[in-house]
Amino acid sequence: MGEFRHTFKVNAGISEVAAFHGSTQALKKLSLPLIGLQFHHLEPLAENSISDFTMRIGPFPVRWVARHEEVTPDRGFVDVQESGPFQIWRHRHSFVPLDESHTLVIDEIMYVYSRAPLWYFFGHFMAWNLPLTFAYRSWVTRKSLEKKRK
């Protein structure tokens, strides 16, 4: 089992941060440009909503279906892999107000690698890239929300 945690502060109120992350466009904005995404089905964020997409890792397409649970307005949500490269993937997105115009974003991921050889390889590749992925996500979130405030 692996775990990953990333936190960052954004100069925006909690409602703005939650709305940004809850948008059906969030996944596209927050994904590294090197990973081509093809969306098959994206539902607005709600309890049991589904995101179904394919990402490209080099020449390899990786299909991923996630279900959202524990959706709490202005506080966060959890996405759980229904199918994809991991045996288990659970990603908690939490938003904590620091004051009226600053929010702490906390991402906590718990994962278990698949036993299937190809998925095992992709899972390790993806886990290895989590620090880069979430550094990029924090930069995009800040860039998207903080420029609106200026």
Max Cα distance, the chain (Å): 49
The residue among 40 and 24 whose pLDDT is bigger is: 40
| pLDDT tens figures, 76-112 | 999 999 999 999 999 999 999 999 999 999 999 999 9
Residue 149: per-residue pLDDT: 56
Q: Where are the domains of the chain?
A: 2-32+73-149
CATH class of 2-32+73-149: alpha beta
pLDDT band, very low/low/confident/very high, at 148 (cuts 50, 70, 90): low
Provide the edge-to-edge strand list for the sheet that holds 86-99.
2-10, 102-113, 86-99, 76-83, 60-72, 50-57, 37-42
CB-based contact 96:103 (threshold 8 Å): yes
The whole-model pTM stands at: 0.93
- Mean pLDDT is lowest, of 31-35, 39-43, 54-58, 88-92, for 31-35
What is the number of residues in the chain?
150
